[in-house]
Amino acid sequence: MGGEVFGRGGAITVDVWSDVMCPFCYMGDTLLAQAVERFPHGDAVTVRYHSFQLMPELSKEPVDLVDLLVEKRGFPRDQVAGMHANVTERAAALGLDYRLDRAVTVNSRDAHRLSHFAAAGGRQNEMVHRLFRAYFTDGLNIADHASLADMAAEVGLDRDGAMEALKSGAFDDAVEADLRQARELGISGVPFFVLNDKYAVSGAQSVDAFLKALNTAWKTD
Amino acid sequence: MASTYETEEPQAPEAPEPEPAPLLILDAGEAAGVCDLDGECR
């Protein structure tokens, strides 16, 4: 029946490029999830996560986010405070508890490798959500291997296996492939959503915008 | 003694990979949050 209403119908794959430290990615992912919940064919939607690194030049040594934005990016300190208040308020409206004062800003490459490790174990969605919460709410270090392995265990993955993957550099090629594909697709900012390799949605759009995109993909693919 | 020669199957030239179709951006006309490579979010 849904096919009659929406057209041809079929499976929808949403490929999401995002970074664990991107405030709008966590929001965008939440908005997409709400749209899928409301979409009459939500069961036909598969979400896959791809790596995109903000500030890839960062090391694994934590830096203070406010200091980074002030000293390296040249933002006035009060403007940063205003931006953070605005982002925190927008996140709260979606039920997300942003604690940017606690954020441990580091290179996110290892967190991305863990996301791919989780994908291989069928738990990528849970892993990505745990990583977002780790950075934005819990103030955990997403470059610390012990913390990452603990989070992997929390979502049902083998802790030792995760630790081994992190130590060995596994899945770095998968991260690199995602970054390359992002460049090929011309993605310059995240979150970025691609539906069925055909339609794209850029940014943390509204639930209605995501619903419209899902309907478009459903009708035409 | 007759010499033997290895012969190679003639190979068809590799077809170039097709260019992926460009993505159709669904613009909701709304201001949406995006963060770029430099970490700037707007």
CATH number of the structural domain spanning residue A66: 3.40.30.10
pLDDT of residue A73: 85
pLDDT of residue B7: 52
Question: Would the CB atoms of A197 and B20 count as touching at under 8 Å?
Answer: yes
- A157's CB contacts (< 8 A; 6+ apart) are A117, A118, A121, A123, A127
Looking at residue A7, what is its pLDDT? 40
Q: Which residue type does A154 have?
A: E
Question: A145-154 and A159-168 are packed helices; what angle lies between their axes, rounded to 10 degrees?
Answer: 140
Mean pLDDT computed over B16-40:
79
The ipTM of this complex is 0.86
B21 pLDDT band, cuts 50/70/90, is confident
B3 has pLDDT over 70: no
Hey, of B24, B30, B34, B38, which one would you mutate to test binding to chain A, going by the most A CBs within 10 A of its CB?
Answer: B34
Question: How much is the pLDDT for B22?
Answer: 83
Mean pLDDT of chain A: 94
Give A140's Cβ-side CA count (13 Å radius). 20
> What was the pLDDT predicted at A167?
98
The answer to whether the beta carbons of residues A212 and B25 sit under 8 Å apart is no
Does position B27 have pLDDT exceeding 80, yes or no?
Answer: no
Return the higher-pLDDT residue of A146 and B30: A146
**Structural domain range at position A204:** 2-220
Q: How far is A147 from chain B (nearest CA, A)?
A: 23
- Considering only residues B16 and A69, tell me which one the structure prediction assigns the higher pLDDT: A69
Whether residue B19 lies within 8 A of chain A, CB to CB, comes out as no
Chain B contact set for A198 (CB, 8 A): 21, 23-24
d(CA A22, CA A202): 14
Contact present, A25 and A47 (Cβ < 8 Å)? no
Please provide the average confidence, as pLDDT, over all residues in chain B. Answer: 71
- Assigned token pair, A70: 């002030």
pLDDT value at position A18?
A: 98
Listed as ranges, residues in chain A with pLDDT below 70 are 1-9, 221
Residue A87, burial from CB neighbour count under 10 angstroms (0-12, 13-18, 19+): buried
- Per the model's pLDDT, the better-predicted residue between B28 and A175 turns out to be A175
Task: Tell me if B25 and A190 make a contact (CB, 8 A cut-off).
Answer: no
* Nearest-CB residue to A189 (from B21, B26, B35): B35
Q: Which residue has the higher pLDDT, A43 or B42?
A: A43
SS3 assignment, position A23: helix
User: What is the reported pLDDT for B31?
Assistant: 66
Q: Which residues of B touch A216 (CB under 8 A)?
A: 26
Q: How far apart are CA A64 and CA A66, in angstroms?
A: 6
What pLDDT was estimated at residue B33? 93
Kindly indicate the confidence band of residue B40, based on its pLDDT and cuts at 50, 70 and 90. confident
Domain count, chain A: 1
Nearest to A188 among B20, B36, B39 (CB): B36
